[in-house]
Amino acid sequence: MFLFSFYFGLPQHAKEDYLELRQEASDLQEYSNAKLDRVTRYLGVLADRARKLDQVALESEARISPLIVEKKRLYNDLLTAKGNVKVYCRTRPLFEDEGSSIVEYPDDFTIRINTGDDSVTNQKKDFEFDRVYGPHVGQGELFHDVQPVVQSALDGYNVSIFAYGQTRSGKTYTMEGSSQERGLYVRCFEELFDLSNSEITSTSQFEFCVTVFELHNEQVRDLLSDMGNTLPRVRMGAPDSFTELVQEKVENPLDFSRVLKAGMQNRGTDTSKFNFSHLYDQTLSSDPFDVDPNLLYSSPSFDIITFVW
């Protein structure tokens, strides 16, 4: 009799458990639906706030944009007032087979040469420059004085950095440097990328392209011509006598170094040739006062920073 009662009691207990679980599931479903509805409403509120913040940002950018333009103009006017052309003189340490130095440095702007000519009254001659760098000056200090023109290049001005001197005077070291002491073009490009990243907005962006060529007896030789026929090209020279140069887009300083290294491996051995590296800065922007997130960039401007050595 006991077994019989237990047999019939078990389904009743299971039924109660089932109903209880069903109620819990229903409560959980109702709770989940309420939570989901609440989260959905909250996401809608956040999306609305995000749209409003985007609009505020665009309006603020539109108000600030003229001030930024004016700041750039004043900055470059200041550089222009100081002189569009700066001439710096850099001397390297003597090699072992070069004897003793005949150069003195009275100040940061003067280099004094001791001619050693007993036939003249004044054996020492002074030459003045915008800046003089002795053998002790490193690449970093030199770049510090060049740095302002990098900002000018990003602001829309064409810039040239020209290293001139006789063979073994240190032109290549100044421009290219070494693994321990990077040269000017690497430092300039890193600075250019840092500045462009800090100035990217919702209405503008920057693209950089590089051309590398050498000039000898008025003949231009493209040092990137073997990198592929599919790459875009840029024309250089007069309309009736132009040269097409391969133009490769670069995304970062490592890209730039890679492209320049490839070009330098193709250069000639004649020491009278000039090596050129053109860095094209293309600024793509849309009207900051009428911004559509889906608006294609228009009004591109092209600026060039040229390294010659």
273 is in an annotated binding site: no
Give me the phi and psi of 53, to 5 degrees please.
-65, -40
Whether 212 and 250 have beta carbons less than 8 Å apart is answered as: no
170 is in an annotated binding site: yes
Q: 56-77: buried (b, 16+ CB within 10 Å) or exposed (e) per residue?
A: eebeebeeebeeeeeebeeebe
Closest residue by Cα to residue 213 from 197, 198, 229, 226: 226
169 is in an annotated binding site: yes
Whether 184 and 139 have beta carbons less than 8 Å apart is answered as: yes
Six token digits for residue 236: 């250089």
5 is in an annotated binding site: no
**Sign of the C-alpha dihedral computed for residues 219, 221, 222 and 228 taken in this order:** positive
Measured between alpha carbons, how far is 139 from 160 in angstroms, rounded to an integer? 18
Measured between alpha carbons, how far is 200 from 235 in angstroms, rounded to an integer? 28
Closest residue by Cα to residue 304 from 275, 280, 276: 280
306 is in an annotated binding site: no
Q: Which amino acid is at 243?
A: T
Residues 6+ apart with CB under 8 A from 241: none
Count Cβ atoms below 10 Å from residue 262 Cβ, excluding itself.
15
Residues 6+ apart with CB under 8 A from 94: 100, 101, 135
Measured between alpha carbons, how far is 172 from 261 in angstroms, rounded to an integer? 13
- Indicate the annotated binding residues: 165-172
Annotated binding site for ATP: 165-172
